[in-house]
Structure 1
Amino acid sequence: MQRKLIKLVRDIYSTNEFIPLHAPTFKGNEQAYLAETISSTFVSSVGKFVDEFEQKIQNFTSTTRAIATVNGTAALHTALNLAGIKSGDLVLTQALTFVATCNVLHHMGAKPVFIDIEPIAFGLCPKATSEWLSENATLDADSQCRHKASGAAIKAIMPMHTFGHPVQIDELLAVCKDWNLTLVEDAAESLGSYYKDKHTGTLGQFGALSFNGNKVITTGGGGMLLCRGQVDGDRAKHITTTAKVPHPYEFYHDEAGFNYRMPNLNAALGCAQMEQLEAKLASKRVIAEQYANFFEDSDLQFVKEPDYAHSNYWLNAIICPDAATRNDLLETTNAQGVMTRPVWQLMHRLPMFADALRGDLTHSEWAEARLVNLPSSPVGV
């Protein structure tokens, strides 16, 4: 099986050289737009490509407002700030996620509560979330959700669309309504993914995208905050640009803001990448279909998009029957120059989050021991 898998991957990418997990491709107007930016001298946080990139993402996702940021973590930090998260607050999220999801909370002085995933899209489980709240939370006289044991305010639910597969948003929104919580979507991996025909990151109050070098499109480093409300969008733009009040020459800042502005150079790269986005997404679906067909009669299960969703298949994944099979697959493929990787170590296993509150994590631990990501770069674009 491993030998045949390595051959399949090499056939997909037509090379005997090292094959990365997800590499950026630049086959459009990237060099032209970068050259234009350099010629204009507007290479930093002011320039036409920043506005154009925001508009392109806004149009593609059908969100009310899109705000470009220096990276996806900055977008998520801004989203949580707008959601009213303060030091000491609790936010329900998943233990199976990339560490940036929880790092943001740590640096805000807030604390994650780790809830189990569901074993279809590997995102935050609505049932487990509801059950944890029923057992551990209460609504006070002001309808503020609070942790029974500590009295800490529980402010938000923050799911992550794992590998680009949309979580069960309607069910999570219902939990938010019952407990007066804000839904903030960590949509870092899911540009081009749709939940019931709506783009991820647009169903909660806020969403955050990433354009890191390993994402579907890249700006080198960069992110985008998606806002459902125009007022929130205007405020997001204000606080991410140092809260500077517009004036012909005076420097006046009306609150402590963030310098989270995306440089024009990065936005120029993003504009060129957006012109190829549809082709990249189409290529990735073809690759996913090739993997699905290959593993159809295997004891390795290919992770397919949920019935309710249209996924971007950012990273293709398989489920091994046990940890030993997973480890053998990882060692063999990487030794042969085909990059594969396990899923992230669960957040509660990391020293900075070891003491965080958590529910039963049976499905998370099961997935951690079995999931393997396969090379997923688009081909030809």
Structure 2
Amino acid sequence: MNRFAEIVKFIRQTFNQPEGFIPLHAPVFNGNEKKYIEECINSTFVSSVGMFVDRFEEDMANFTGAKKAVVCVNGTNALHLALMLAGVKQNDEVITQPLTFIATANAISYCGAQPVFIDVDRDRLGLSPQALQNFLDKNTTRKGDGCYNNLSKRKISALVPMHTFGHPCRIDEIAKICEQYHIELVEDAAESLGSYFNKRHTGTFGKIGVLSFNGNKIITTGGGGMLLFDDEESAKKAKHITTQAKVPHAWEFVHDAIGYNYRMPNINAALGLAQLEQLSGFLKIKRELAERYQSFFSGKNIQFIKEPENSHSNYWLNAILLKDRKERDEFLKYTNQNGIMTRPVWELMNRLPMFRDSQCGNIKNAEWIADRLVNIPSSATI
């Protein structure tokens, strides 16, 4: 038996599924989902107002330690709004990592801003504080109203690191650098619900953090996102803007700003609340799965991505590193042809046609990872 066949056999045994298709990450509905959705339907409050929206926001703020939480239609909307609230304007620049999902770069573009791509750390897969420091030291000038790129002359107004696959980046160092250079920190914590750095939940280190509840996330609302705030005033403003900036009134329709229809419906929040009640169980199962993978791959000369030092990862998507791009492609072909869903990491943002002209630092780590990394089945169903 070749080692790829051995891996397929192990995955099938782990998920107790000797045949058929094994997805990368399937949702699990074993709680109060149907009950809460039925209650929501019976209440007739199925749109953007209702008790499940309020409870979901309150419970998520309590879970993460954020002062306030505001739900959105999806994580991309939440990122867009977070950048707007952080002060990103037309023709500004926003630093992020090339190793990320397209939503990160798209949200920057929605603001009319330009992304600048900085390398990641190999051990954490997230934006590297050392690469960030080097780029800012060599390429920027600090002025009274912020930090400016010497090449483009644009203001660098925000930075968006991502906690890739649920593994926290060196967010404490990044936060200090942002403070030093007067750059707003917006955390893309879309994949890291239940992850902690130095016992502090991801998404709570910057001005705003963003979560995602897409169908493949650790908990789901079908689609959905959330903003985490460290101050109540910003949360209040976010709630206003996401509801078309409507001035509260019993019957009149008056709007005092350009607003967005970004609010999560109550019926989705009902699903999310039921999912949140099960999160601790999901996290426990996913940690057990990661431990099984780590033990298995330790004897296969294949590196399993484990949680970094001073971190507690949710292990949203488990990942391995193969020898090179050729072996990666062979593995992807073999596993998918044998009913095991695996996928490579996203195409690096700077390689996509719409971002090819964006400024990049030296991104050798991101390129190295992109050639080797594969995600393997990670559902909380073992």
Question: For residues 220-241 of structure 1, what are the alpha-carbon distances to aligned partners after superposition, in whole Å with 9 as ceiling and x for unaligned?
Answer: 0000000111111111111111
- Give the distance between the partners of 1:73 and 1:350, measured in 2 at CA: 18
- 1:58 aligned partner: 61
Secondary structure of 2:94's counterpart equals: strand
Give the Å deviation of 1:150.
Answer: 2.2
Aligned mate of 1:161, from 160, 163, 166: 163
- Give the distance between the partners of 1:250 and 1:101, measured in 2 at CA: 37
Secondary structure of 2:261's counterpart equals: coil
2:76 paired with 1:73: yes
Give the TM-score normalised by structure 1.
Answer: 0.98
Matches within 5 A, 1:102-251: 102-140=105-143, 142-251=144-253
Matches within 5 A, 1:248-263: 248-263=250-265
Aligned mate of 1:87, from 76, 86, 90: 90
After the TM superposition, which of the residue ranges 229-238 and 211-220 deviates more from structure 2?
A: 229-238
Secondary structure of 1:357's counterpart equals: coil
- Give the distance between the partners of 2:66 and 2:278, measured in 1 at CA: 20
- 1:4 aligned partner: 6
- Give the distance between the partners of 1:160 and 1:134, measured in 2 at CA: 22
Matches within 5 A, 1:244-323: 244-323=246-325
Secondary structure of 1:281's counterpart equals: helix
Give the Å deviation of 1:297.
Answer: 2.0
Give the Å deviation of 1:97.
Answer: 0.2
- 1:349 aligned partner: 351
Secondary structure of 1:51's counterpart equals: helix
Secondary structure of 1:358's counterpart equals: coil
- Give the distance between the partners of 1:288 and 1:82, measured in 2 at CA: 37
- Give the distance between the partners of 1:5 and 1:13, measured in 2 at CA: 12
- 1:339 aligned partner: 341
Secondary structure of 2:9's counterpart equals: helix
CA-based RMSD: 0.9
2:22 paired with 1:26: no
After the TM superposition, which of the residue ranges 239-248 and 203-212 deviates more from structure 2?
A: 239-248
Question: For residues 143-166 of structure 1, what are the alpha-carbon distances to aligned partners after superposition, in whole Å with 9 as ceiling and x for unaligned?
Answer: 410011221000111101000000
Question: For residues 248-283 of structure 1, what are the alpha-carbon distances to aligned partners after superposition, in whole Å with 9 as ceiling and x for unaligned?
Answer: 211111111111110011001001101111000100
- Give the distance between the partners of 2:147 and 2:200, measured in 1 at CA: 28
After the TM superposition, which of the residue ranges 306-315 and 29-38 deviates more from structure 2?
A: 29-38
| Letter matched to residue 107 of structure 2 | V
Secondary structure of 2:5's counterpart equals: helix
Determine what percentage of the aligned residue pairs are the same residue.
54
Aligned mate of 1:327, from 326, 329, 336: 329
- Give the distance between the partners of 1:149 and 1:261, measured in 2 at CA: 38
- Give the distance between the partners of 1:343 and 1:188, measured in 2 at CA: 16
| Letter matched to residue 376 of structure 1 | S
How many residues align structurally?
379
| Letter matched to residue 341 of structure 2 | M
- Give the distance between the partners of 1:250 and 1:42, measured in 2 at CA: 20
| Letter matched to residue 59 of structure 1 | N
- Give the distance between the partners of 1:36 and 1:173, measured in 2 at CA: 42
Secondary structure of 1:56's counterpart equals: helix
- Give the distance between the partners of 2:172 and 2:212, measured in 1 at CA: 23
Give the Å deviation of 1:350.
Answer: 0.4
Gaps spanning 5+ residues in structure 1: where? none
Gaps spanning 5+ residues in structure 2: where? none
Give the Å deviation of 1:37.
Answer: 1.2
| Letter matched to residue 310 of structure 1 | H
Give the Å deviation of 1:3.
Answer: 1.3
Moved beyond 2 Å, runs of 4+: none
| Letter matched to residue 209 of structure 1 | L
Secondary structure of 1:184's counterpart equals: strand
Give the TM-score normalised by structure 2.
Answer: 0.98
Give the Å deviation of 1:324.
Answer: 1.2
Give the Å deviation of 1:298.
Answer: 2.1
| Letter matched to residue 296 of structure 1 | S
- Give the distance between the partners of 1:325 and 1:109, measured in 2 at CA: 39
- Give the distance between the partners of 2:117 and 2:363, measured in 1 at CA: 8
Question: For residues 294-342 of structure 1, what are the alpha-carbon distances to aligned partners after superposition, in whole Å with 9 as ceiling and x for unaligned?
Answer: 0112221000000110000000000111111111111111000000000
